Structure 1
Amino acid sequence: MSEPRLGAAMDVRFGATVEEFLTHLTDMGLNHVELKREYLHGHPDAPDAETVGELAEQYDVSVTYHAPFRDWNPGSFNDAVRQSSVEQVRRTLDDAATADAGAVVLHGGSVPRRYPEWVRATARENALRSLAECAAYARSVGVPLCLENQPRDEGKRRYTTTPDELAATLEAVDVPPESVGVTLDVGHASVNGEEWEAFVDRFGDRIRVCHLHDNDGSADRHEPLPDYEPIVEAVPADYFVFETKSVADVAACVGADPEPLETAFRR
Structure 2
Amino acid sequence: MRLGFSPFTTGLDYRAAFELAAELGLFLEIAYDQHEVDPRLPGAKELAEMGRSAGVGFTVHLPFVDWNLASLVPSVWRLSLERTQRALDFAGQIGAYCGVLHTGSVPLRHPEALAQARRLLERALSELEPVVPLALENLGLDEDDLLETPDELAQLLQAHPQHGFCLDVGHALVQLGLEGPQTYHQLLCGRLIHWHLHDNRGASDEHLPCGEGQVDWGWVRQALKGFSGTAALEVTGGAEGVRRSVALLQQP
TM-score, scaled relative to structure 1: 0.81
Match of 1:239 among 206, 221, 230: 230
- Which of residues 48, 54, 72 in structure 1 aligns to 2:49? 54
Asked if the contact 1:10–1:33 (Cα under 8 Å) also holds between the matched residues in 2, the reply is: yes
Flag the 1:86–1:117 CA change in 2: closer, same or farther, 3 A.
same
Alignment RMSD: 2.2
Q: Is the 8 A contact 2:10 2:242 kept in 1?
A: no
Most deviating of 228-237 and 45-54: 228-237
Is the aligned partner of 1:117 residue 2:115? no
Partner secondary structure for residue 120 of structure 1 = helix
The percent identity for this pair of structures is 33
Report the AA paired with residue 242 of structure 1: L
Q: Distance in 2 between matches of 1:89 and 1:228?
A: 32
Once the 2 structures are TM-superposed, how far is the Cα of residue 13 of structure 1 from its aligned partner?
A: 7.6
Which residue of 2 is the match for residue 253 of structure 1? 245
Give the Cα–Cα distance (whole angstroms) in 2 for the partners of residues 130 and 246 of structure 1: 35
The one-character-per-residue Cα deviations of 1:16-70 (angstroms, maximum 9, x if unpaired) are 1x2331112333x141110011222344531111222222222222211011111
Matched-pair contact (CA < 8 Å) for 1:65–1:103 = yes
Q: CA-to-partner distance for each residue in 1:160-184, whole Å, 9 max, x for gaps?
A: x53212101223xx322xx310000
Which deviations, in whole Å up to 9, do the C-alpha atoms of 1:226-259 show, x marking residues without a partner? 4757524413351111102342432332359xxx
Equivalent residue of 1:11, what SS? helix
Q: Secondary structure at the match of 1:158?
A: coil
Query: Which residue identity does 1:188 align to in structure 2?
Result: H
Report the CA distance shift for 1:7/1:148 in structure 2 as closer, same or farther (over 3 A). Answer: same
The one of 154, 177, 181 equivalent to 2:164 is 181
TM-score by length of 2: 0.86
2:106 counterpart SS class: strand
- Equivalent-residue separation in structure 1 for 2:62 and 2:136 (angstroms): 10
Of the candidates 161, 173, 178, which is equivalent to residue 190 of structure 1?
173
Question: What amino acid is the match of 2:235?
Answer: T
Q: How is 1:72-221 mapped onto 2 (pairs within 5 angstroms)? A: 72-113=67-108, 115-134=109-128, 137-138=129-130, 141=131, 143-154=132-143, 156-159=144-147, 161-171=148-158, 174-176=159-161, 179-193=162-176, 194-221=179-206
